[in-house]
Structure 1
């Protein structure tokens, strides 16, 4: 049972690093009056090689921090924690939590024409089979093919979203999916949209890339209903940003990726 949602309270968003800024960007676009408190767990990025127990612990620590700030809802913008920790967080806190997996799956099912969908993500996300289970539940006839892309998050966190190294990684990771004949690809990590030009070039124009951020924020908008803050618009710099690692690095890379100032970034140890 959720406590009543206060219209002027902020929205919490968290991720392992800069990836969740793709969701922030969509909130700024669709809900420009909302205040956002963002947490990037840069001291522990990448999440891709962590086990479920570690991911739940990290997500719980971040959620506790955001809830203490008085947020009215939390977007878990990390597919790895959405896959293994989301239900735990929903049971533990009296604040609504939204993940990114359902949005990606529904977007892919709406887009595919041949019923062959690919999902690229971190190892915990792929091994959880969360996307595949949901896709099969919604459309038993769909074929879902997963591919772990372990280097993508470190590349984005380093700001290397283009260049020979990134292109080579994309070619190696995506080759098996091309052989499967997929026509739709879920970007199953919020870091990956920053690599969309490289991924799109590798996959070709016949493959639709699905960025879950848009559908996730549509779900958030529906959840808030009449409690949407319209005291805006706000810029990226008007929101609050916290990281567990180096705030200077996060600010530099984040601003490069989104093409706008983030304002002040604070360090918050958990």
Structure 2
């Protein structure tokens, strides 16, 4: 690659993909660490959530999304969906050799290192709880630690609707957090990118003796490392204002919730993924 080609590649956007808008928690972390990068977020909102969908369906949707990000000229992709990571990340990387794909996964390793009682809770979707990816993480990094993985149906839909607090949301959170805390968990892992937007409620329900871990900052650091190794980091300068959101759902509805989640308006466009 010539210097001119490398310089052109460096200013290409980074693609961030999730089933819905939960991955904006990852986009927020990436933008905070790498403010000069252009970011293109792709939400398959018309088919969200993925957490209770058939495995083959999730794999096909994820492949459509990554193909679309490549078509938009993205220099790298961030899979901001634990369900996709757990079910199909190896297949996606095999299908796109040489293209940097950074994937989120539940923070089991740091949780196992930080627990004082030897009990860790993982809050996730049904598919992530049952995925081989989570099983591998527990086997590799949580020897001697009791890991309690709990599916939290309905949480993703609440975030997608912007229902981030209130009595109904607190009750929905307590239904799944209380059993883990009562079982001795002193570290809770947010195993879905939607869940950081419920973090204030989760922390309030769990109580002051329980630590809550969000893996999004680690994803941002891994992206930085990969781009740096490939000489693809955007040149330093003012923060990039090019933060675009593509959605297979209703742009107006998705944009309104994204504004509430991030506090900033994004350019939102319709993007069919069929």
**TM-score under structure 2 length normalisation:** 0.92
| Counterparts of 1:62 and 1:133, CA distance in 2 | 25
1:23 matched to which residue of 2? 26
Q: Structure 1: how far apart are the matches of 2:22 and 2:236?
A: 26
CA distance in 2, matches of 1:53, 1:119: 24
Q: CA deviation at 1:139?
A: 3.6
Name the counterpart of 2:172. 169
Alignment of 1:100-115 (within 5 A): 100-101=104-105, 104-115=107-118
Deviations 1:90-136 (A, max 9, x none): 0001312111116x223323432222111011100001153343133
- 1:94-173 mapped onto 2 (5 Å cutoff): 94=97, 95-101=99-105, 104-173=107-176
Structure 1 residue 227 and structure 2 residue 232: aligned?
yes
Deviation of the 1:83 alpha carbon: 0.6
Q: Say if 1:109 and 1:135, in contact at 8 Å, map to a contact too.
A: no
Residues 132, 144 of structure 1: 8 Å contact kept: no
**Cα deviation code 1:203-230 (max 9, x no counterpart):** 1111110101001111111111142113
Paired residues of 1:118 and 1:182 also in contact (CA < 8 A): yes
Describe how 1:1-270 pairs up with structure 2 within 5 A.
Answer: 6-94=9-97, 95-101=99-105, 104-225=107-228, 226-234=231-239, 238-262=242-266, 264-270=267-273
Q: Residue deviations 1:134-164, cap 9 Å, x none? A: 1331241121101110110000000000001
Q: Distance in 1 between matches of 2:187 and 2:255?
A: 32
- TM-score, normalised by the number of residues in structure 1: 0.93
Q: Which runs of 5+ in 1 are unaligned?
A: none
> How many residues are treated as equivalent by the alignment?
264
